Structure 1
Amino acid sequence: MSSYAAVLRTPHAARTFGAALLGRLSYGTVSLSLVLAVKDASGSFAVAGTDMALFGATSVVLSPARAALVDRHGPRRALVPMAALYAALLAALAWATARPGAPGALLGALVVTAGACTPPLGPAMRTLWSQLLPDRRMLQRAYSLDGVAEELLFVTGPLLVGVLVTYAEPAMGLAISAALVLVGTLGLVASPVPFPLRAARVGPKSSTPRTGPRPLARPVLAAACVGLCLGGLELLVVAFTEDLNRPGAVSWVLAALSAGSAVGGLANGAVSWRSSARTRLPAFCGALGLVLALAGLAPNAYVLAGTAALAGLFVAPALTTAYLIADETAAPGDRTKAGAWVNTAVNAGSSTGTAAAGLLAGSLPLAACFALTAAPALLAAVPILGANTGRAREGSRRLRPEPGP
């Protein structure tokens, strides 16, 4: 833990990180608040589910474009208008859903526009971490701490909403989400840490590798595969516990997954790895896939929970390492967009994995469904390992002495 204390003792780190977490707590509270508020206003779970899907789709798909604006114009000129518009739209949704009978078209328009304006506070904070901590080992610890804290926010947010709706209307959750994101964003942009701007690059060509499709494809592919596994696992856990007539065990299994991920993330950040991030990433993906494949053989919910905790040990390390590789391959003025691509891949993969598992669970045995859900992580390790092996062989040929005369 001393290594994490050293991260937070870095000048301006605790202040900047705290503001970013406050704003990102909004992402943990808004989803459940939105579903409950729209359902109360429309009287339909179908409308609530559709609006939530639209919100998630626009938020995820447009995330790299919004991050590119932050890279181009900086947090003050890009994040503040986004956060202000996003907060205003959430406040408008809170007003529209405060009474029943709100028009579905109005709710849908507000939801889609709000999703399109979601400020990329997570990618922006990771860019600031790379400015705060030029040392790669310290940056790994910061990314691990950031990832674990973000996961805890997504667990804490729905719990706070659950407490709130016992005393107030769900629309109040939307209003609180709006306040959180606005206050957190203003605190983040007030940080004195310099933000690397793409437009500020002048002079001769830098030796720093630019963000390109090939280098960035590796961490994005790995993140998408992890998302596919996680999305499929959540639905398969529901099916598994229903087969056992223990639907209440779902929360415990998923809590074990989150707990394992938190432990794995903290351990990954505390270790001073000798191997490179490009070597560790396929190893984490392969280990995650192997454990998930074995989860389908669990005889009861207790063993499944233990297996989920074991799988979680590799989730946060895999995602943290993917973010590190994206940061390494990005030019200084493209780091936010590179991190946003990884984040988009995780979220898109999770949604796709849930849909695919839903199709598989109705036609195949659960053990086979778990194995197929684990396949993306196992396959992700193959091309990345192949690329690393080829690079190592090329390096050995370069280092081999030339034959003498």
Structure 2
Amino acid sequence: MSRYGELLKTPGVGRIMAAQLTARFPNGMTSLAVLLHIEQVTGSYGAAGLVLAATSVGQAVAGPVTSRWMGVWGMRRVLTVTTVICAAAIAAIALLPMVVAGYMVVGLIAGLSTPPVQSAVRTIYPKMVTSKQLTPLFSLDASLQELIWVLAPVVITVVATQVGTVQALLLVVAILIGGCAWFILSPEVGRVRIPRSRRRLGRVLMKPPVMLATVVGFLLIGACAAVEAGVVATFGHDGIEAGIVLALFAVGSLAGGLSFGHLPIGPWAMARRFAIVTIGMTLAMFSLDVWWMSGTLIIAGAGIAPAFAVLFAMTSVSVKFSETAEAYGWIGTGQLIGAAAGSAVAGFLIDGVGPEGAIAAAAGFAALGTIVAIVFVRGFPDLRGRDSTPIPDTEPVQTIT
């Protein structure tokens, strides 16, 4: 904890971290808010899954593209335009009555315009701290990120069930606008210039660590999203139990990240951390009792933030600085698609077999992630004793002879 305290004393680190977490908070709320709203409007989790699938298509296309645009037009300009469009699309889903196809079109627009905040801040971090501080910074960020992916659904579930799904979506819009404005106006966003990438779009995915980080992030968030849908379906729209269970899931993740996320990262680190998630979610399948689910999801949560710390560090150390934004764009796309895919798969299983199907889907996502980490262990870099700064960009320099 003392190491994290020193990081937060570094000028600007606390501010930029708080701003980007606020700006990205809607990423953990939107899928579940849309799921609850469309299900309430249409009476079908399957229809809600189709809307989420359309949103995920937009996110898949936009993630690396908008991240790459920041090297061309600058971070502030790209972030401002995408924020305005995304907020308008989500507000339309909340306020305008449409058929399912209409909701899918608007969801696609919302996905296409998702602000690339994660790519921007991951590119800024190496310019704010020393090389020795970067891995602990990624660990701290990974821990606090769980407020997005695990705690945010608690907030949106409570608002949607106790106030209304329209109000829940409008809350997403308000946080999106406020958080992105705070982040965009941060001095660091104006000072750091992302170099224009010299390689064509998608080439960075050819690097094994980037591809592995994208796939593993997809599976990790897919597991979380399926659990969230299963918990909501188990305890219904009117009770507070779902919020309690998801809050304890968040506590487990936050505690795991702060306790273990800073440990040295070797090739087997991802497999070990993903195995913890798999064990907890597998145990959750045996009972839908509120206390059993709470205990097992605390176990599962303990591996989530440490796994994210591995993702961020292995990506940073494997790419050039000019490629970091696009690399994190692909990884962010994987995570966002994972959130939508997990919710969509869980939704169809809830319609077919009940909440048990959603929990089983979550365990399946997690188990597959563990298998990927084991089978492709040689693709994970050994970061023990190394810093996590990106590879410097080099270019020919003219000399006079």
One fold, TM greater than 0.5? Answer: yes
Alignment pair present for 1:81 and 2:73: no
For 2:211, give the aligned amino acid.
Answer: A
In the TM superposition, what is the alpha-carbon distance from 1:327 to its structure 2 partner? 1.5
Contact kept in structure 2, 1:83 and 1:182, CA below 8 Å: yes
Q: Distance in 2 between matches of 1:164 and 1:224?
A: 26
- Give the structure 2 partner of residue 266 of structure 1: 258
**Who is 2:21 aligned against?**
21
1:338 and 2:335 are equivalent in the alignment: no
SS in 2 for 1:198: coil
Provide the residue aligned with 2:395 in structure 1.
none
2:192 to 160, 180, 195: 195
- TM superposition score normalised by structure 1: 0.73
Contact kept, 8 Å, 1:229 with 1:374, in 2: the verdict is yes
Distance in structure 1 (CA, Å) of the matches to 2:105 and 2:362: 38
Q: Which residue of 1 aligns with 2:109?
A: 113
Q: How many pairs are equivalent? A: 369
Which SS does the other structure have where 2:317 is aligned?
Answer: helix
Aligned-pair CA distance for 1:8: 2.1
Alpha-carbon shift at residue 15 of structure 1 (Å): 2.5
Aligned 1:240-279 pairs, distance under 5 A: 251-269=243-261, 271=262, 273=263, 275-279=264-268
Q: Secondary structure at the match of 2:269?
A: helix
| C-alpha contact 2:267 2:378 (8 A) present in aligned 1 | no
Distance in 2 between the 1:347 and 1:14 partners? 25
After TM superposition, the structure 1 stretch with the greater mean CA deviation from structure 2, 347-356 or 318-327, is 347-356
**Residue number in structure 2 paired with 1:223:** 217
User: Which of 291, 295, 298 does residue 302 from structure 1 map onto?
Assistant: 291
Distance 1:51 1:373, change over 3 A: closer
Higher radius of gyration, 1 or 2: 1
Question: Over aligned residues, Cα RMSD in angstroms?
Answer: 4.3
Cα pair 1:296 1:369 within 8 Å, conserved = no
Aligned to 2:124: 128
- Counterpart contact for 1:8–1:14, Cα < 8 Å: yes
Gaps of 5+ in 1: 202-208, 393-405
CA distance in 2, matches of 1:127, 1:12: 15
> Does structure 2 conserve the Cα–Cα contact (< 8 Å) formed by 1:69 and 1:78?
yes
Letter in 2 for 1:315: I
Give deviations 1:292-346, integer Å, cap 9, x for gaps.
Answer: 4455456965344322211211111112211211121121112122223223323
The aligned counterpart of 2:371 is 379
- Alignment TM-score, normalising by the size of structure 2: 0.73
* Residues 91 and 173 in structure 2, CA contact (< 8 A), matched pair in contact too: yes
- Are the equivalent residues in 2 in contact too, given 1:210–1:331 (CA < 8 A)? no
One-letter amino acid of the structure 2 residue matched with residue 111 of structure 1:
G
Note the C-alpha offset of 1:260. Answer: 0.8
SS in 1 for 2:11: coil
Instruction: State the distance in 1 between where 2:83 and 2:335 align.
Output: 23
Equivalent residue, structure 2, for 1:400: none
